[in-house]
Chains A and B, each alone.
Chain A
């Protein structure tokens, strides 16, 4: 996308456009000129689209200039096209209309959440994290207890829960819609010894009122690494790499202290988004109690875990204004990605 429009950029654009148009010698070059400046992703179109990022005063001034230029370019285009036509085309008799649309293969598309999840998984897979997936309905034991979030603990407030069955009949506890995909951590660690390096995508659910930025259903991509000698520096290294992959190599990243019951120290990673720090990921060093719960010796092994919300990331990346679009299944939304 183009950067923030200025009056200067409009003047420059005008000069370039008219200059180039004068040099367009045939219908094809006129057409490619049109696409370059006034097509859907054209340079002038880009300016008009980015007006929204300006403050109101500027928007008025620059918007007017851009619209004026649009009119000028349109008439220049018509004039040049007519000129070329008049100069007599040297087309053969059996010429076809090359401007008719071609026969395309109609393709569908993946849901934007799926696309961004795959992008994230690719990044982590390449760092040796293997994808594991679990069920959407989970036992309280795996979703909470094993992750150092016991019943009657205030940390449960961070994840209001949708329950299928609340009875704690056994140590499995109740049955619930998973509030995080982190339940895969103890499930995998119970079954295997370190090294562990997994990443777990999937739907999660919270008992939360829905609005433009909150959904009771959303996806999460959550990861875990446990081995001898893994440290906070490795956690930072992994997440830096991830942020570079997803948001670009130059993206500024910051880490700050935060609290999640299954990690200590706890981390929040924010990225610089147009000069504003935006939280995108929670992480930390795996809490020794979580390791002990699955029979790992915390004096021998250390590890780190992280979780990120694909919808939040997609909203940021594409400027999607309402999270409810994701499960609205409107083709006008879905087919844009």
Chain B
């Protein structure tokens, strides 16, 4: 909302700087976004046109002699309306003016010395557009001032406009008077109300027109009057200027007055051509489903049965509180005006305007639910202004149909007890009363506290807490005490989803992975590049996507992770190792979709940063697998990896991960992504990916108790022996380890070397295994160890065909 200070000054004296004013308004809830001065004209002064002569080389240009207070200068001017004797705005060389040929209001040009068609121009006579006052560039601006030539233009013209961002609870501040009321309270000044009285003549308004409300639930009050014999014409300059200053286009005096009063008081009004209302009979009713009306903007609107219509006995003449009808519009031929100022239901008004896509200045106010008292004040104000500026005769009395009269809340009680309880502080009695009264509330004291009569312009105040806010914001929030939070601290509740998730993220970070966070929405085409397991649920589709790139909720993190790998392969030289922990979604029919938390990560590119001490190597399956192993070991458990299949992964290079100690729960998988999938992401290097589900890891975490973590260290020495085994290529290392570990003296076994190829028989590989032997009861002898070792070798040979390499 734009608030020109020149307009504001009609109602309140401004005793502080615009910056201070903006600060006080902001602190009290009306946030001022910017302060703009339209008076920033350097090198522009009042000038007198002394003579106008033809340009020697151009028919459409003239040579204008301007007296600038110091001397006469010659200016080349193309404006058709320049004439001797005018007082104008003269810009000398160096002035910075708005670029009249640009649509950007911030585009400026610095005036330079120049020759125009062979004649030097010593400056310029300005148009309104060049001065940034309006878009008017047809001719020069003629000043209406007695100021001496040479007076800086800023002293004659120009204004400061504050732009306030209003909260939706304060429709009163959508009127300049509402802002003035705030200013008056915040600066301790008197408020001057606009004049609303006028002379009237019989017959009575109720004789000249009638109003009937068929649907009082949507229209709690309708006031109207008739002004006959008006003269339609342009508004006087001051009125047109004010409308322009707030960004409105002047139309004609009647329409401008209704707009002006709306911007002054916050109450939208509408003027009908009285003689185009059939039988002068106005009916406020719901539209018939499918009923049509052509609105003022020339559009035909098809209505539904919940939209409120202003009609005459024959047809709709206006869409109540949204936009007038074209068939009853004020035009040059209008002589009699029917003026409407009514109170329409806010949510119905909002529903109508949003379903028709027709937001107007009127709906912006009505949708907030105005109080009915405002309607009459605005009607009287607009009538007075019409009589003043368009002439005519006002009918006596007004038409006032007020079915909602008794439904409106009159006052709000506030107890001292509540005030103290909510604010944690008390406010002196007289301060409460004077503050509320300054805001327009009628305050009565009683035993418990106060009763505040709600002013007609404040629909937002309905409960005691609203009054408390009024008091606190005017006194200033910073004036109230600060205490450490009182009250009881609730009993602690376990939230494993949060704590385990954080633990997982930390473990992955320690394993070298960088966390990423992607958008929760994608599109089908994008996501379909990655095949998903067949039990994946259907897409959850968005009704109003922000763009076609984000039209469905993601069902997987695989796409996001691969996108991120692709993006970083282009710009990142080091290892790419990243993961995301995020929600994925699947359609579950009615209601909320299924939502799960997945942990997906990938490694690609080099496995290590270039180093003087380490050989470079590409990352591979075992880097990805190692991340899962590190994670599980932080959860004090161990995974079992078994070859598995997945449509996105290379067969034979993919494993499913289960945790035997947690009932064999499947936590996810790890593998090499299929090259044809990678090709769809323009990735040319191998990517190894893992995917786990939080719920499964929660059950792993849950399966581990403190008793599973610690066992006393054994006092007796352990011994390590290495076995060099020859096995078939197809034998899984895990099988070997399992058999070795089955021996009761074995406390650990690891593969520390794998070799196949040269020197070995076809189809065979060599595995080097370190086996650790230990007994809790004694130090094992060499014999005991050898016996155990022979047992293991026998089992290996028997079960896996393994032989000792010699």
Contacts and interface: CB of A to CB of B under 8 A. Distances in A.
B592 interface: yes
Interface in B115-148: none
A13 interface: no
A230 B487 contact: yes
Contacts of A233: 423-425, 480-483
Given A110-B505, A259-B168, A330 B567 contact: yes
A326 B517 contact: yes
B489 A195 contact: yes
B515 A108 contact: yes
A164 B592 CA distance: 9
Interface string B540-584: 111111100010010000001001100110011001111100010
Contacts of A232: 422-425, 472, 480
B181 interface: no
Contact size range, B: 35 or more
Interface string A101-117: 10101111111011000
Contact of A227 (B26, B28, B488, B553): B488
B542 A257 contact: no
B612 to A, nearest CB: 6
Contact size range, A: 35 or more
Interface stretch (B190-198, B322-330, B390-398, B493-501): B493-501
B70 interface: no
A157 interface: yes
B280 interface: no
A205 B520 contact: yes
Nearest to A118: B502
B485 interface: yes
A166 B73 CA distance: 68
B540 A113 contact: no
Contact of A265 (B354, B473, B488): B473
Interface stretch (A19-27, A48-56, A87-95, A135-143): A135-143
B497 A133 contact: yes
A110 B591 contact: no
Given A162-B542, A237-B483, A133 B520 contact: no
A330 B568 contact: yes
Interface string B400-439: 0000000000000000000001111100000000000000
Contacts of A216: 546, 550
A237 B486 CA distance: 9
Contacts of B793: none
A307 interface: no
B511 interface: yes
Interface stretch (A64-72, A76-84, A147-155, A312-320): A147-155
The 7 closest A-B pairs by CB, nearest first: A231-B424, A233-B424, A259-B167, A257-B29, A265-B469, A152-B347, A227-B487
Interface of B: 26-29, 31, 167-170, 346-348, 350-351, 354, 367-368, 421-425, 463, 465-466, 468-469, 472-473, 477-478, 480-490, 492-493, 495, 497-498, 502, 505-506, 508-521, 540-546, 550, 553, 560, 563-564, 567-568, 571-572, 575-579, 583, 585, 590-593, 595, 608-609, 611-614
Interface of A: 100-101, 103, 105-111, 113-114, 118, 127-128, 130-133, 135-139, 150-155, 157-158, 162-166, 169, 172, 175, 177, 192, 195-197, 203, 205, 207-208, 210, 216-217, 225, 227-238, 240-241, 254-259, 261, 264-267, 285, 287-288, 302, 326-332, 334-335
7 contacts: A109-B514, A131-B498, A135-B595, A136-B520, A151-B347, A227-B487, A302-B421
